[in-house]
Amino acid sequence: MSLQEVIREFCSIALLLLFAYSAGGKVRNVTAFARSVEGFAVVPSTWVVPLARLFIGAEGIVVVLLLGGLVWSGVLLAGMLLALGLLVVFSSALISVMIRGLQVPCGCFGTDDRPVATVDLVRNAGLIVLSVAGLATASSQHSILASLLTALMAATFVVIWTHLDDITAVLRWEPVVLKEGK
């Protein structure tokens, strides 16, 4: 398996898993996700529920296209393009919230009380790079064994990348100040 094939497989499987995780979290509680969309205050209130459903549906379509792309590269290209488009839209909304100083939950992977933060933009930037790399390599051939190994690497990447905020919180070092006499 060539490097180009490994990159293509890794990107497509990582994005497939990521969008499946994201859509799954949102589908479990559409109402909560719609409240997150509403909190972003970028569309009229009458658009919130239809837009929330549209995003969930689009993420589901990305999953189907990327899954089909494991067999047929023409479908893979469409999945990568849709993934990239959604990530650009989501990142634009995150930037808008941060510029306006709103303290709203991200809702990136379903229900979450943690407000939008810089780490969300860093995560999305990495995912945009993943989409572009996948697009750049979308036309190469497939190998089953290499695909399985790459799937394992992609799954590990997705688990780490979707929990980047938790990992950074654990890795923050805060010195303990001891008081005299205790």
- What's the confidence (pLDDT) of residue 17? 94
Compute the C-alpha angle 93/88/38, nearest 5°.
25
CA atoms within 13 A on the CB side of 27: 12
Q: What is the pTM of this model?
A: 0.77
- pLDDT by residue (tens digit) across 54-106? 999 999 999 999 999 888 877 888 999 999 999 999 999 998 998 999 999 88
The whole-angstrom separation of Cα 90 and Cα 129 is 14
Q: Are 66 and 74 in contact (CB under 8 A)?
A: no
pLDDT bin (cut points 50, 70, 90) of residue 26 is: very high
Q: Residue 111's closest CA among 167, 178, 170, 30?
A: 30
Query: What value does the mean pLDDT take over residues 34-46?
Result: 92
